Chains A and B, each alone.
Chain A
Amino acid sequence: MAALITFQDVCKYYHMGDSTVTAADHISFEIGTGEFTAIVGSSGSGKSTCMNIIGCLDVPTQGTYLLNGQDVGQMNKNQLAEIRNEMLGFIFQQYNLLPKLNLLENVEVPLMYAGVPRGERRERARAALEQVGLEDKWRHKPMELSGGQQQRVSIARALVGKPSVILADEPTGALDSRTGREVLSVLQDLHSAGHTVVLITHDNSIAVQAQRIIRLEDGRVVYDGPADARSAVVTPMAADERGGGSA
């Protein structure tokens, strides 16, 4: 079976004044349907670039990114917007709910851009809220909820469009450890239910919750393997730099 996400020698260069910064340096990997993968790295490792490319917010400078067999690098802005809408569900560190809309309306947004009729939209948004256990709070505004609840709403919003990939960018970064664990267990449940989850984090203790870890350093893949191997969390060349991160 063909992989859902394929990176082939993906490179990304940024021009900062006179110098060129290499954010991704010939990165290659494949992620199959139903996998729970964590992309780990410290800041500047290229994990944000990877997430932007996987999320179709950005395209590679060189190399190929195939999402479900489609070459994203060749797409225009409109096609990218459609792909984001249909195939990706984003979960952000800052939740990024729209403050003026209530929870139900927030969850409806992706369906609205997909052109789903109003009645069906309501129905599906309600079901998604139910899935994260917040269906009785649907009238509330995001600001009236705790951080953990807001993150669950954003998970509902990511799920509602039935995307192929759920892309979580530091989903626990703004939460205390207990609610962080709750959010992670929701992600694990999604994985068990058959969803493909890609988790981007700098935190090893979070990353080990995944099934597989791809570790990035200076824009290169330095480890790609199961999360339970010891070498997944400690790499020889950077072990001492990453103080409290190791499990």
Chain B
Amino acid sequence: MKITESLSLALKNIVSSKVRTLLTMLGIIIGVAAVIVIVGLGSGLEHYIADSFSSMGTNTLTVSVQSRGATRTMEVEDMYAIVAAHPGELELCSPTVSMMSGVKIGTETTSTSASGVSEDYNRIYSCTISRGRGLQYSDIATRAKVCVVGAYVNQAYFGGNALGQTLRVGGQALTVVGVLSQREDSMSEGGSDDCLYLPYSTAARLGGSRVSSYVVTMTDEDRIDQSKAALERSLTEFFGSDDYFTIITMSELVDTMTGMINILVGVLAGIAAISLVVGGIGIMNIMLVSVTERTREIGVRKSLGAKERTIMEQFVIEAAVTSALGGLIGIGLGYFLSAAATVAVARLLGEALTVAPTPFAVLMAFGISAGIGVLFGYLPAKKAARLNPIDALHYD
């Protein structure tokens, strides 16, 4: 008997008891859908993070200096000199001073992120000025009390007329001299348009601390390792040791975070996969019942010339088809739930996070569900194949 005939026989049996088959498949359906949604959520998160980081520039190196205990202290000019010494690898440099104190606009304290930067920030962060002017070298040199604000700040707090207005950072009044163009498709609080840049010299004085963090851009994004190594050599030379600084590339940061997400997703998907095993056991149960119910049929088939292998094939294929069908329904459900989750995340959190099932996860889920059918169908099929035809024929 050919495989195609076993298949059509299996389908016939499945169709003739729809409710039972559906209940049998339920475990597999839920398991497959859960795996697909979780893996889809993971890949969505990964993209979300990659996107947010790439808007900050993936060709940047972040240098942190811990001068405590070092024999030399590093001034901003020293860092500029080091960057200038590697024209082949490094391009721009800006100190970054993150302001811990909040931004106060009128009477409202906002969650806007404020950082002190150099006049090169707009090239480093690839942002353009839509109104007014950007920060200039003279602002840095004179510690001018000015700032440029992101499009969201302009829109949300100043009604689009931020230019010339005043806001307070750490108690210091700053005049808005420029507004940045919108960077994200949909602006939101805490997004990359909810930002404020002021001269690093002003920021350092407000914070009362030395500049200890720099952003350096590379000339070639594909030569991250060489660029990082060049910077590392110069800094080691400067301090006489490599204990006083750390260099983090943006891609390393992204890698670290996606690595963590992958572990989380792996654990969750593993838990979801347990329901696949439970589903497999459900299939085994029903197949065992089915073998008992169909004992006489098996006897008749054997008397008509079915070999043990043929009977075995029939039941294994039936289990595999049931399970694979459950897998297909689960994939459908998984796609549906993923789309629903995407909408739900957009509604509830206001984040554009796409829960997209990955083809790999879909293939895996389908393969595993079919495999589970074969695995858990084997025992009942063996039982069926081994039935003695005489006993089976007289079974009531």
Interface assignment of B20: CB less than 8 Å from any CB of chain A: no
Number of interface residues of B (CB under 8 A): 23
Q: Which residues of B contact A77 (CB under 8 A)?
A: 307-308
Tell which of B5, B297, B304, B310 touches A90, judged by Cβ atoms closer than 8 Å.
B304
| A219 in the interface (beta carbon within 8 A) | no
CA distance A81 to B1 in the complex (A): 13
**Which of B16, B303, B304, B393 has the most A CB atoms < 10 Å from its CB?**
B304
When C-beta atoms are compared, the residue in chain A nearest to B307 turns out to be: A81
- Check: B332 CB closer than 8 A to any chain A CB: no
CA distance A101 to B11 in the complex (A): 12
Bound: A86/B305 CA distance, A: 8
B296 lies within 8 A of A96 (CB): yes
User: Closest residue to A161 on the B side, CB-wise?
Assistant: B305
Chain A contributes a number of interface residues (CB within 8 A of B) equal to: 25
| Chain A neighbourhood of B303, CB < 8 A | 55, 57, 84, 90, 96
Please, how many angstroms separate the alpha-carbon atoms of A78 and B309 in the complex? 9
- A residues within 8 A CB of B300? 92, 96, 98
Which label, helix, strand, loop or mixed, suits the secondary structure of the B interface?
Answer: helix
> Contact between B310 and A113 (Cβ–Cβ < 8 Å)?
yes
Q: Let me know if B390 and A58 touch, CB within 8 A.
A: yes
Establish whether residues A78 and B307, one from each chain, have CB atoms under 8 Å apart when the complex forms: yes
Once bound together, how far apart are the Cα atoms of A115 and B5, in whole Å? Answer: 10
Q: Please tell me if the beta carbons of A115 and B393 are within 8 angstroms of each other in the complex.
A: no
Q: Which of A82, A96, A98, A101 contacts B305 (CB 8 A)?
A: A82
The answer, yes or no, to whether A52 is at the interface (CB within 8 Å) is yes
Residue of A whose beta carbon sits closest to that of B4: A118
Q: Which residues of A contact B305 (CB under 8 A)?
A: 81-82, 84-86, 110, 113-114, 161
A39-73, CB under 8 A of B: which get 1 and which 0?
Answer: 00000000000001001011000000000000000
Contact B297 A98 (CB under 8 A): yes
B307 touches A112 (CB 8 A): no
> What residues on B are CB-neighbors of A157 within 8 Å?
304
The 11 listed contacts between A and B (C-beta, < 8 Å) are A57-B390, A77-B307, A78-B307, A81-B305, A86-B305, A90-B304, A92-B300, A92-B393, A98-B300, A112-B5, A161-B305
Which residues on B are within 8 Å of A, measured CB to CB? 1-2, 5, 12-13, 16, 296-297, 299-310, 389-390, 393
Q: Which 9 A-B pairs have the closest CB atoms?
A: A85-B305, A113-B305, A81-B307, A96-B300, A110-B304, A84-B305, A57-B389, A57-B390, A90-B303
